[in-house]
Chain A
Amino acid sequence: MSDLSIRSLSKAFGGVRAVNEVSFEVKRGEFLAMIGPNGAGKSTCFNMINGQLAPDSGSIWFEEKNLTGLVPRDIWRLGVGRTFQVTATFGSMTVAENVQMALISHAGETFRLWKPAASRHRERALDLLHQVGMHEAADRPSRELAYGDVKRIELAIALANDPRLLLMDEPTAGMAPRERNDLIALVKRLVVERGISVLFTEHSMDVVFAFADRIIVLARGKLIADGNAKSIRDNPQVREVYFGTGKTFARAGAAT
């Protein structure tokens, strides 16, 4: 059974087709990587799935529900978690409060005016922080943390609504290679434990080939390949895009 189903998704910006008739599926429990050179349309694709952008045509289905046209918070309510390419935590809150905020929202308590937030879902928040190895920083202001640690916090936040699907846009961007591997290993462990499906984009091929169950490749807005690590590595079109003439690179870069 498929968890997420993307059907003929398209989006153009001022005549440039950033995403062009892309279709693919994420199966339950699958760890799916989306790769492609800069400007291939990965982020656009992502932003349509998580509701930040409305597609021009095509549809997005999650567990038999049509996500097309829903806003991010409704998509989240259906059980889809996400992390951001550029970290975005709530700077005026502590680490634990960041996670608690997500738990509060998940519990439908956002508009509660009386009982202090600090005492709500604290245990659960600490538990999540423990799982990402950040429990010791629980009471520090989140803005004081190092970049890699913030990524972990974001992961904890993303897990707060017990998502069945996790969207991660370049989860390791800006991290040292060693950190990258650690983080993705952590993610993989957590999602396998929980049976969560994951769609992520990633620059580092090492990470992708080491961890992804399956890989799809975007170039110039089109899906050009879909398969396991070996088949992707051997795919001539992918080779051309990644290792080819450079001309392809240039044009792809100009596209978005």
Chain B
Amino acid sequence: MSSFLFQALNGLSAASGLFFVAAGLSLIFGVTRIVNIAHGSLYMVGTYIAYSFATVVGGMLGFWGGIIATAIIVGIIGAVIEVLLLRRIYRAPELFQLLATFALVLVINDATLWLWGPEDLLGPRAPGLRGAVEVLGRQLPTYDLFLIFIGPAVLIVLHFALARTRFGRLVRAATQDREMVSALGVNQAVLFTAVFALGSFLSGLGGALQVAREPANLAMDLTVIGDAFVVVVVGGMGSITGAYLAAVLIAEVKALCIAIGVVDFGGFSVNFSKMTLVAEFLVMAVVLIARPYGLLGREQGAVRSVAEPEEPIRPATRGLKLAGVTVLAVLIYMPLIAQDSPYVLVLGVDVLIAVLFAASLHFIMGPGGMHSFGHAAYFGLGAYGTALLVKWLAAPMLLGLAAAPLLALLGALLFGWFAVRLSGVYLAMLTLAFAQIVWAAVFQWEGLTGGSNGVVGVWPTAPFDTRETFYLLTLALAVIGVLLLRRFLFAPFGYAMRAGRDSPLRAEAIGIDVKRVHWLAFAIAGAVCGVGGGIFAFAKGSISPETIGVGRSIDGLVMVLLGGIQTLTGPIVGASVYATLQDTIMRQTEFWRAMLGGIILLLVLAFPSGIVGALAKFAPRRKDQP
């Protein structure tokens, strides 16, 4: 028993670390509605800067003074990011800022590599807190004890700052209803900058405090950001106390899993420590299903988009249809055109797969208004459905491919049923949780799925075993997929989707079952995405859990946003540009991440409504007036 109690203490100290980074994110998120993926990067930079202070200056001052100085520096970095970058794109369509912060992740990671080098940097122990004290007959590091108290201490300070000061009242008001703040005549720009600086400060503080516990390393940014988002959402967006409770809940669940360890159930042994892989996502899924706004969150005032609303959709004109057919012809003849450079077909297949991914994601994100952060789940289900059928049942290729949309459809029906009951960022995070749970199941179910190594040896068979025929098959499926989605969007169903997004109240009042419509939309998007996954398995010959990973979901978001979420061609252009860009840049330079990030930043600033969105604005508007 005392071991469980002691593990609870370990959990509390872990919770403090989570809390700092989550509290900052929660504030930023609540006030500015920006999904700031770069928050983890600021945390990482915090650890690196604190390391430098602790080792270069050294001693008490270098360590403790360094931690304070680091938090301030990171706060300033945050303010600079807000002023120079984000402020320019607040009026872009919802979520677009995510794209900018994604670019920042890439740039900051490479900048850190360039400044501090590739090696892990383990800082010194905290001066004055190097030892351990005996608690419950065990050694508890004094630094952990310090962390157990500093978390709640910062919580209390923040709580009173938010409750008692004018700044705090503004923050809370903005979290409830963003427009209210501008209505109150507050300088919104200053408020946003201040909140961003404060959030970054907290993140830098959290990172700096880690310097005594773990080495500064280049993987920290992505490791921490996932956890931070989970904590924010579980706690309830904008609620600092909620963030602390959520951090404690998650850290304790993990500590409990570790404490339980290996348990024998009648000869069948389960290693609970492996559960820590998905513990936070399981917690999040359960919390969101039971409490759609998190532990202490309140229903948000409807987020009215500050961007210009989108144009009504219009069918293609004759001339452009003709041009479309021409381009399709070129693509069909590509195997002949590109005879001398067969790699074009290889890349073409990857681009077409990306198009299927992005178009299906856009289907629910754009017209459906449901931002999925876990679209890779359906891609992965499709890929694994195909691969496992081929591997275990030696299914013929086309049968394997047919399994892809089916399995993805089933997954989407199951997850969608829960997801459509939420909205906004809560929906997004629930989809992410589901994707992570699928990922973990695939990762752990070694016997069926091959675990982390995945399934190997899934190759296309005749007649699709040449580059040319496989490319043509992919092209055919991609074109069919995209045209189907497009057809659906112009059909009553697509209109009903948009109706449910534009005004759920009105839609319900004219007899539309919005949840059901959105649920079906989810299923359709999942199935189409699954087709992409199936092709992917054959294109690569092997798949691993990475096909379901967060990275792939985020890539999909980036493609959709890059192209322009408010247009139907946006995702297709975004996918083509992003996939080609990535392939080209990865080859050109050592610091390809920074370069890719830089290019995305430029695109973000130049085309704040996406590439196609911007093109459409320049194009003459023909049929506007009858």
Contact = CB atoms under 8 A, between A and B. Distances in A.
- The reply to whether A and B meet directly (CB within 8 Å) is yes
Interface of A: 50, 52, 71-73, 76-77, 82, 84, 88-94, 97, 100-102, 104-106, 109-118, 120, 136, 138-141, 143, 157, 160-161
B492 A112 contact: yes
B493 A111 contact: yes
B508 interface: yes
Nearest to B501: A92
A111 B511 contact: no
Contact of A89 (B506, B513, B625): B506
A112 B491 contact: yes
B94 to A, nearest CB: 13
A84 B505 contact: yes
A105 B312 contact: no
A101 B490 CA distance: 12
5 shortest interchain CB distances as A-B pairs: A88-B506, A90-B502, A88-B503, A102-B510, A105-B511
A111 B505 contact: no
Contacts of A104: 492, 495-496
Interface of B: 309-313, 315, 487-488, 490-496, 498-499, 501-503, 505-513, 517, 520, 623-626
Given A84-B505, A117-B492, A120-B492, A73 B513 contact: yes
Contacts of B507: 90
Nearest to A77: B511
Contacts of B492: 101, 104, 109-112, 115, 117, 120
Given A110-B496, A110-B517, A76 B311 contact: no
Given A92-B502, A94-B312, A118-B315, A72 B508 contact: yes
A91 B496 contact: no
B536 to A, nearest CB: 26
A111 B626 contact: no
A73 B491 contact: no
Contacts of B491: 112-117
Given A110-B496, A116-B315, A120-B492, A91 B511 contact: no
Contacts of A139: 623, 625-626
Given A73-B512, A91-B309, 5 more contacts: A92-B311, A109-B492, A111-B517, A116-B490, A157-B506
A77 B513 CA distance: 11
A72 B509 contact: yes
Given A90-B503, A143-B309, A110 B498 contact: no
A157 B450 CA distance: 56
B72 to A, nearest CB: 44
B494 A73 contact: no
Which of B313, B498, B503, B509 has its CB near the most chain A CB atoms (within 10 A)?
Answer: B509
B314 to A, nearest CB: 9
B365 to A, nearest CB: 14
B506 A71 contact: no
B512 A84 contact: no
Given A110-B496, A118-B490, A73 B312 contact: no
A244 B577 CA distance: 70
A88 B498 CA distance: 13
B626 A105 contact: no
Contact of A113 (B315, B493, B499, B506): B493
Contacts of B512: 73, 101, 105, 110
A102 B508 CA distance: 10
Nearest to A100: B495
A161 B510 CA distance: 8
Contacts of A106: 510-511
Contacts of B517: 110-111
A101 B309 contact: no
B511 A92 contact: no
18 contacts: A52-B505, A72-B508, A76-B510, A88-B505, A89-B503, A97-B312, A97-B495, A101-B492, A101-B495, A104-B492, A111-B492, A111-B517, A112-B493, A113-B488, A117-B490, A118-B490, A141-B312, A157-B506
B503 A161 contact: no
A161 B509 CA distance: 11
Nearest to B503: A88
A82 B509 contact: yes
Contacts of B513: 73, 110
A205 to B, nearest CB: 28
Contact of A101 (B313, B315, B510): B510
Contacts of B311: 92, 141
Given A77-B511, A139-B623, A139-B626, A111 B520 contact: yes
Contact of A50 (B315, B495, B509): B509
Contact of A93 (B312, B508, B511): B312
B505 A93 contact: no
Nearest to B497: A110
A162 to B, nearest CB: 12
A89 B501 CA distance: 11
A161 B511 contact: yes
Contact of B510 (A93, A105, A111, A113): A105
Task: Report which residue of A82, A93, A104, A110 has the largest number of chain B beta carbons within 10 angstroms of its beta carbon.
Answer: A110
A100 B495 CA distance: 10
A106 B511 CA distance: 7
B617 to A, nearest CB: 15
A92 B93 CA distance: 14
Contacts of B309: 91-92, 141, 143
B457 to A, nearest CB: 37
Nearest to A141: B312
A97 B490 CA distance: 11
B499 A90 contact: yes
B413 to A, nearest CB: 15
B511 A73 contact: yes
Contacts of B488: 113
Contacts of A109: 492
A38 to B, nearest CB: 20
A8 B492 CA distance: 40
Given A72-B509, A105-B512, A111-B520, A91 B502 contact: yes
